[in-house]
Amino acid sequence: MASKYHVRCISLPSRSHPTTIRIEEELSKVKSLEESARLLLTSGSICRTLSGLEELYMCLDDLLNMASSQRVLSQNQHEKCIEELLEGSVKLLDICVITRDALLQIKEHVQALHSAIRRRKGDSSVENSIANFTCFRKKIKKDAKKMIVTLKQMDNSLLTSPLQEEDQQLSAVIRVLREVNATSSSIFQSLSLFLSGSKQSLSRWALVSKLMNKKVTACEEKKEIVNELESVDTALCSCDVEKMEIMHESLKAAEASIESVEKGLENMFRCLIRSRASFLNIISQ
């Protein structure tokens, strides 16, 4: 599935300023990371994308701390655009919290199933645990689809208010904020796909071939193209209860992957809080 946002030339004034150069570089870098994450849907690719997004928000903080940015934003021009940006920041925070809660629930269910398999006593407890987990995964997949719909609606609302060009610097700053929100939205869509363990329409080796054009080696990708949650789903469908080694390894990998994504998401939550607080402080001056 192709990414729904595009990194455009932001045309910030004073392009030689290190902050404006960095933010364009980080937007381009995060876009590339998100494209790979959406193709691979592995915990490693998701974590790299969240890390890149964290770097982007650090650049955004620097931009918001510039006196020139604070001056134009505090003048309360383009009020409708600013209101949309504030609404978008709230939605991103809500989605981040919902996603974090979903990750916690998935980890709890993975741990419960793993525990049942380790202590199995030859009765129906493992079968019951598998049935409960399968039912829960169906719910997660439905919730993930709803989340993606919400994020796509947010993408559409980001560009509803046209920008007037009377103040080029204000328009440029607003464009940056819109780009960052759109980038965040797209990354959360990829994260939702990861949680659902969605299969891609292209074959895995077709994805490898495409990524090799970006100087990614076949060896690295062959090792990495494993959606850990999808692997659990597949193992549940095909695993003989009497031969649980594959299931054991899949659950172990899934638990480790969820914990790594949790850390990245927690860092992202703090970035979103800090950015929104800075924005609110500026426009309330």
What pLDDT is attached to residue 43?
Answer: 95
Q: Which residue has the higher pLDDT, 213 or 85?
A: 85
Task: Count structural domains, the chain.
Answer: 1
What's the rounded mean pLDDT across residues 225-242? 78
Cβ atoms within 10 A of the Cβ of 30, count? 28
Question: Does residue 13 belong to any structural domain of this protein?
Answer: no
Of residues 259, 256, 236, 258, the one with CA closest to residue 247 = 236
CB-based contact 8:179 (threshold 8 Å): yes
Task: Quote the tokens at residue 54.
Answer: 């964290």
Question: Does residue 11 belong to any structural domain of this protein?
Answer: no
Provide the percentage of residues in the chain whose pLDDT is more than 90. 47
Average the pLDDT over each of 11-15, 24-28, 254-258, 278-282 and give the range with the smallest value.
11-15
Residue owning tokens 């455009």: 8
In whole angstroms, what is the distance from residue 155 CA to residue 184 CA? 10
Question: Does residue 1 belong to any structural domain of this protein?
Answer: no
In whole angstroms, what is the distance from residue 225 CA to residue 238 CA? 20
What's the rounded mean pLDDT across residues 115-131? 77
Q: Which residue has the higher pLDDT, 18 or 40?
A: 40
Question: Residue 174 — pLDDT band, cuts 50, 70, 90?
Answer: confident
Residue owning tokens 């077709």: 206
Question: Does residue 2 belong to any structural domain of this protein?
Answer: no
Task: Quote the tokens at residue 203.
Answer: 């074959």
CB-based contact 38:3 (threshold 8 Å): yes
CB-based contact 278:64 (threshold 8 Å): yes
Dihedral sign computed on CA atoms, order 134, 136, 139, 140: negative
The pTM of the whole model exceeds 0.85: no
DSSP category for residue 56: H
Question: Does residue 114 belong to any structural domain of this protein?
Answer: yes
Residue 139 carries which side chain, given as an amino acid letter?
Answer: K
Question: Does residue 26 belong to any structural domain of this protein?
Answer: yes
DSSP E strand boundaries for the chain: none
Q: Which residue has the higher pLDDT, 216 or 247?
A: 247
Question: Residue 160 — pLDDT band, cuts 50, 70, 90?
Answer: low
CB-based contact 236:110 (threshold 8 Å): no
What pLDDT is attached to residue 163?
Answer: 64
What's the rounded mean pLDDT across residues 19-39? 90
Query: Over the chain, what is the mean pLDDT?
Result: 81
Q: Which residue has the higher pLDDT, 239 or 189?
A: 189
What pLDDT is attached to residue 280?
Answer: 93
CB-based contact 175:212 (threshold 8 Å): no
What pLDDT is attached to residue 201?
Answer: 40
CA end-to-end distance (rounded Å), the chain: 42
pLDDT in tens, 234-270: 888 766 655 677 888 889 999 999 999 999 999 999 9
Instruction: Assign residue 215 a region (left: φ > 0; alpha: ψ between -120 and 50; beta: otherwise).
Output: left
Question: Does residue 108 belong to any structural domain of this protein?
Answer: yes
Task: Quote the tokens at residue 50.
Answer: 């969240």
Cα 256 to its chain centre, rounded Å, is: 18
Question: Does residue 118 belong to any structural domain of this protein?
Answer: yes
DSSP category for residue 16: T
Domain assignment of residue 135, given as a range: 18-160+167-283
Provide the percentage of residues in the chain whose pLDDT is more than 70. 76
In whole angstroms, what is the distance from residue 253 CA to residue 244 CA? 14
Question: Residue 206 — pLDDT band, cuts 50, 70, 90?
Answer: very low
